[in-house]
Amino acid sequence: MSIIDLTSMGEPQSELQKELNERLTKLQDEISDYCFQCAKCTSGCEAHKLLELEPHKIVALLKRGLLNELVNADVIWTCMTCLKCRERCPQRVAPVEILFALKNMAVASGKQIPGKYTAMLQSILSIGLIQDIQQTTTRTNKTVKRDELGLPPLSKPTDVAKFQAGIMKIAMEKV
Amino acid sequence: MKKKYALFPGCLMPTEQYAYELSIRETLPLLGVELVDVEGFSCCGEPMKSVNQLLTLYLSARNLAIAQKHHLDMFVPCAMCHLALTECQHVLEKNPAMKERINGMLAAEDLTYTEKRHIVHTVDLLHDEIGIQKIKEHVKKPLQGLKIAAHYGCHILRPREIGRPDDSENPQKIEAILKALGAEPVYYPQKLDCCGAPLLANLPESALTKTGQKLQAIQEQQIQGLVDVCPWCHKMFDSRQTKAGETVAAKLDVPVVYLTQLLGVAFGISTEKLGLELNLSPVEKLQLEGAK
Ligand code: SF4
Ligand code: SF4
């Protein structure tokens, strides 16, 4: 099984896209009812000052149906998932959840996945974890690994073929 | 009464944040907690949430199902893993259709999710399950005069509606634990600011800037050090502190320790066993008993 199946970097995943579309439409409907653009979400947003993310504007754009523009915007990838916008919204709108759905949609539409996500996914597929055991250094520059510190063996999937078969179902699933 | 939990290590702690794991394994058994090592756990799925949320849900569910197979509750020391597993359990309990769908996929590994587990993080395990009184009873070397700030980490505080280890806007449990150890917790206005770690995958410079800004604020307020309870937060504040300093053009030297390391020092455990050598920030400035 390849990473392409799961992330559709090669071909758009139409079933997944359909499902995400339904989710976003549902969010859009709910938002139209509730969000009154008070911008409380943006005032506490961790990514606002540094990366110019304005969650209330994301909500407004979704409300106006500008889905394609949002899915293709780099700014959706600046969210730090601090969840403050979800916690503090007086109307129980959760901009962070909209952002997750938009990013998932970008990936399902075949847009390139930014940064190290692909490498992490590949690692999960092969060993079940985002990375294998690393060598670390002490403050006095000695190098150490897990076993040298007397720690027990790493917990990870024992039957990798079966583990992959489970994940494969996500890629293959018809909704 | 002895408390028994499967230790859910996640990815980051067991592959590089060894100091957290060492100090957990040294301290919690002294407080009557039995940690069970279980084979076969995987990533909690949270790091993949931006890519495919169904994958996140699936990976979390498979870990819950493994704990269930061993009839164990779960101790989850990573804030991100704790959120993923708690959220997944919340979804599966509320949404029978999703539960059926996920269970259909889990069948590939002969796993199934049917019942809720109790999922605790370091903070609520210490504060609520073990309790301040019991912690006090084990203190041999009080951390007198240590004025230190707490960093909770976003993911153990929010979203409140699914149940989190502490209050989302005014968490106080780490401070209460620090007081029990004889230290003096310090309030600072940036307490709830994010460590930046979730951006490490795609915007590492910005992630480190976030880290640098928070550390710089702490340094300017002349707070002695910072305590954290998540391998991701610690990777940013401690392991990457020098790099974080470069992003804000500051020479940072803020000692950063895991709460369980301080617990161990106060209990009289040697700093070597607590992995204090592995902290890359200048922890020697804290003059913890025997720290080299
Ligand atoms: S999402 Fe909530 S907090 Fe943000 S503008 Fe809308 S109502 Fe206000
Ligand atoms: S979760 Fe994302 S959008 Fe919401 S406040 Fe935090 S950084 Fe901003």
What digits encode the pLDDT tens for the residues A33-44?
Answer: 799 999 999 999
Q: Measured in whole angstroms, how far is the alpha carbon of residue A40 from the centre of its chain?
A: 23
The average pLDDT across A128-152 equals: 96
Instruction: Give the domain-ending residue among B76, B98, B120.
Output: B120
Using 50, 70 and 90 to split pLDDT, how confident is the model at B39? very high
Of A104, A139, A158, the CB nearest to B52: A104
State if residue A46 touches ligand 2 by the CB under 6 angstroms criterion: yes
Q: What does the pLDDT look like over B135-191, one tens digit per residue?
A: 999 999 999 999 999 999 999 999 999 999 999 999 999 999 999 999 999 999 999
Q: What does the pLDDT look like over B229-263, one tens digit per residue?
A: 999 999 999 999 999 999 999 999 999 999 999 99
Does residue B292 belong to any structural domain of this protein? no
Does residue B128 belong to any structural domain of this protein? no
Of A7, A103, A155, the CB nearest to B37: A155
Which of 112-171 (B) contact A at CB < 8 A?
Answer: 154-155, 157-160, 168-169
Report which protein residue has its CA nearest ligand 1's atom 7: A35
Interface contact flag, B51 A77, Cβ < 8 Å: no
Q: What does the pLDDT look like over A39-82, one tens digit per residue?
A: 999 999 999 999 999 999 999 999 999 999 999 999 999 999 99
Are residues B103 and B167 both part of a single domain?
A: no
Q: What is the pLDDT of residue A1?
A: 42
Q: What is the pLDDT of residue A12?
A: 57
Percent of chain B clearing pLDDT 70 (strictly above): 98
Does residue B125 belong to any structural domain of this protein? no
Are residues B97 and B222 both part of a single domain?
A: no
Residues of chain A neighbouring B192 (CB-CB closer than 8 A): 84
* Nearest-angstrom CA–CA distance, B10 and B43: 5
Is the pLDDT reported for residue B265 higher than 50?
yes
Q: What is the pLDDT of residue A174?
A: 39
Three-state secondary structure call for residue A101:
helix
Residue B196: CATH number of its domain? 3.40.50.11810
Are residues B245 and B105 both part of a single domain?
A: no
Does residue B183 belong to any structural domain of this protein? yes
Are residues B20 and B99 both part of a single domain?
A: yes
Are residues B165 and B60 both part of a single domain?
A: no
Are residues B210 and B243 both part of a single domain?
A: yes
Are residues B84 and B163 both part of a single domain?
A: no
Are residues B144 and B115 both part of a single domain?
A: no
3-class DSSP string for chain B: CCEEEEECCCCHHHHCCHHHHHHHHHHHHHHCEEEECCCCCCCCCHHHCCCCHHHHHHHHHHHHHHHHHCCCEEECCCHHHHHHHHHHHHHHHHCHHHHHHHHHHHHHHCCCCCCCCCEECHHHHHHHHHCHHHHHHHCCCCCCCCEEEECCCHHHCCCHHHCCCCCCCCCCHHHHHHHHCCCEEECCCCCCCCCCHHHCCCCHHHHHHHHHHHHHHHHHCCCCEEEECCHHHHHHHHHCHHHHHHHCCCCCCCCEEEHHHHHHHHCCCCCCCCCHHHCCCCHHHHCCCCCC
Using 50, 70 and 90 to split pLDDT, how confident is the model at A172? low
Are residues B266 and B153 both part of a single domain?
A: yes
Q: What domains can you pick out in chain A, each with its CATH number?
A: 9-108 (1.10.1060.10), 117-173 (no CATH)
Interface contact flag, A128 B199, Cβ < 8 Å: no
Q: What is the pLDDT of residue B175?
A: 98
Are residues B34 and B137 both part of a single domain?
A: no
Report which protein residue has its CA nearest ligand 2's atom 2: A79
Q: What is the pLDDT of residue A7?
A: 56
Does residue B127 belong to any structural domain of this protein? no
Q: What is the pLDDT of residue B104?
A: 94
- Please indicate if any CB of chain B lies within 8 Å of the CB of A41: no
Of B11, B37, B106, the CB nearest to A166: B106
- Number of domains making up chain B: 2
Angle between the A55-63 and A14-34 helix axes, to the nearest 10 degrees?
100
| Of B227, B213, B210, nearest in space to B173 by CA | B227
Interface contact flag, A114 B202, Cβ < 8 Å: yes
Of A6, A107, A129, the CB nearest to B42: A129
The average pLDDT across B60-78 equals: 98
Interface contact flag, B18 A144, Cβ < 8 Å: yes
Percent of chain B clearing pLDDT 90 (strictly above): 98
Q: What is the pLDDT of residue A26?
A: 87
The average pLDDT across B271-289 equals: 95
Q: What is the pLDDT of residue B215?
A: 98
Instruction: Give the domain-ending residue among B71, B95, B120.
Output: B120
**Residue B101 sits in which domain range?**
3-120
Cα separation values, A108 from A3, A17, A175, B79, B138, Å: 12, 6, 14, 28, 53
The average pLDDT across B185-211 equals: 98
Q: What is the pLDDT of residue A50?
A: 96
Phi and psi at B56, nearest 5°, equal -60, -50
* Nearest-angstrom CA–CA distance, B194 and B233: 9
- Please indicate if any CB of chain B lies within 8 Å of the CB of A7: yes
Interface contact flag, A124 B43, Cβ < 8 Å: yes
Are residues B138 and B282 both part of a single domain?
A: yes
Residues of chain A neighbouring B277 (CB-CB closer than 8 A): 138-140, 142
- Ligand 1 proximal residues by C-beta, below 6 Å: A 35-41, 55-56, 59, 89-91, 93, 95
Is the pLDDT reported for residue B218 higher than 50?
yes
Which of A153 and A23 is assigned the larger pLDDT?
Answer: A153
Are residues B224 and B188 both part of a single domain?
A: yes
Instruction: Give the domain-ending residue among B98, B120, B142.
Output: B120
